[in-house]
Structure 1
């Protein structure tokens, strides 16, 4: 899987990092109008070539609120010409100036591997443009806090929030997360994730906190604040809300939550 990071959003899909970086760096308008950003991404591209690894495209290394509009313009231009992209022709790719100082045999192997399973072009450009324009890759659900209060549970086992149980008396029972959203004060709410564990000394089964933030819920997003310092950490979308289920992310991990009192497990 490959990751695309834009601001505090993460998009995960099949191979596309090489493809996007290559097309961006072969765009004359990008090189001319954003030379500093171009130089930084060329350096990133060369590092990835050196190690033969294209697993993440982190646009945050060059993206700011001030140049966001310029990036949107560049990606819209590339997208509008996506049927005439350089990367559609393997031989044309290999002739790119980006590879002038690289071993041609090694580059040929990397290019073939990276472009062989290229993601659907429309999908990835839509994701990038949505991420740039709306700072989310998702169609958010603009729900009221009242719709989200209560107890929820993740719908599948996931070890993504598993803590280190070494030096404790606890043994995890499964890896589902129970989420409690509770009023705090003013327009803030507690957002607490719990895991179920077995205390092998006392034989008790109990819940322990594995995540805690204070959140504001507005415009289809959770705005996560540090629960003690109350400093903004990140915002994450609320999407595909359908009364008893919704999706969101905690850190970079995606979760589907189902209202607990309707869960029959």
Structure 2
């Protein structure tokens, strides 16, 4: 699994981190117009090559700011418009890249073969990156009111599980489904509470425990999550594909599909 992080958004795909870094670092416009950002990503790239680290995560937040966002958009638009003439389209050209002058060619050859062998269709990646940079989301958000989201929800699909550390408890988690409660709190804030089912070793009873709690504002298709104790903004997460009493959002790095619980 490969992760691309842009501001508060995470995009998951296969085989693209090496490709994006390689094309960025071979782009003369990027090197000349954004030398600080270029050298930071180059150092990260070289460290991965030197120590054989996996190219599993591209965190543009290490160099991306609101101030240089427009420049990054321009660079990626340039790469996208020239996607049929990219350096990575020719493996021989890749091997001759200046990025590999000080590295063992046999080792580099193995890395290149593994990383570019199954390169996904590049247009999808560039579109995802450009959308995230322009709109700060990889998704087409759903503009919904807080009233439509209030109530009890159950996850019906998730890409990962919310967990606490159970080592010092008498509980063991059961299943992976999450119960979500969105409740009125104060002013324009709401409680966003996620609960998971556990079983007590001793009593053998099943019950729900709190595994995630934030205060949220709901506006412009996003949950703005705040720490419920310090009231500090943690991140904003999109609300998308809202229809037929279901919606999608992300919590941490995981995507969840929630369905409204029907009251009888």
Match of 2:187 in 1: 186
Alpha carbons 1:141, 1:239 under 8 Å: kept: yes
Label 1:158 to 1:26 Cα distance change in 2 as closer, same or farther (>3 A).
closer
Counterparts of residues 35-114 of structure 1 (less than 5 Å): 35-52=35-52, 53-114=54-115
Alpha carbons 1:171, 1:199 under 8 Å: kept: yes
Q: What are structure 2's unaligned runs of at least 5 residues? A: none
Distance apart, 1:157 and its partner CA: 6.9
Match of 1:155 in 2: 156
Distance apart, 1:47 and its partner CA: 1.0
Distance apart, 1:260 and its partner CA: 1.7
- Mapped to 1, the partners of 2:158 and 2:81 lie a distance apart of 41
Distance apart, 1:142 and its partner CA: 0.8
- Mapped to 1, the partners of 2:11 and 2:233 lie a distance apart of 21
TM-score (norm 2): 0.96
Q: Secondary structure at the match of 1:176?
A: strand
Number of residues of Structure 1 aligned to a counterpart in Structure 2: 263
- Mapped to 2, the partners of 1:262 and 1:74 lie a distance apart of 51
CA RMSD of superposed structures (Å):
1.5
Distance apart, 1:204 and its partner CA: 3.3
Label 1:138 to 1:262 Cα distance change in 2 as closer, same or farther (>3 A).
farther
Match of 2:5 in 1: 5
TM-score (norm 1): 0.95
Match of 1:27 in 2: 27
Q: Secondary structure at the match of 1:139?
A: coil
Label 1:60 to 1:157 Cα distance change in 2 as closer, same or farther (>3 A).
closer
| Structure showing the higher strand proportion among its residues | 2
Match of 1:126 in 2: 127
Q: What are structure 1's unaligned runs of at least 5 residues? A: none
Q: Secondary structure at the match of 1:74?
A: helix
Match of 1:15 in 2: 15
Distance apart, 1:112 and its partner CA: 1.0
Distance apart, 1:119 and its partner CA: 1.4
- Mapped to 2, the partners of 1:86 and 1:189 lie a distance apart of 49
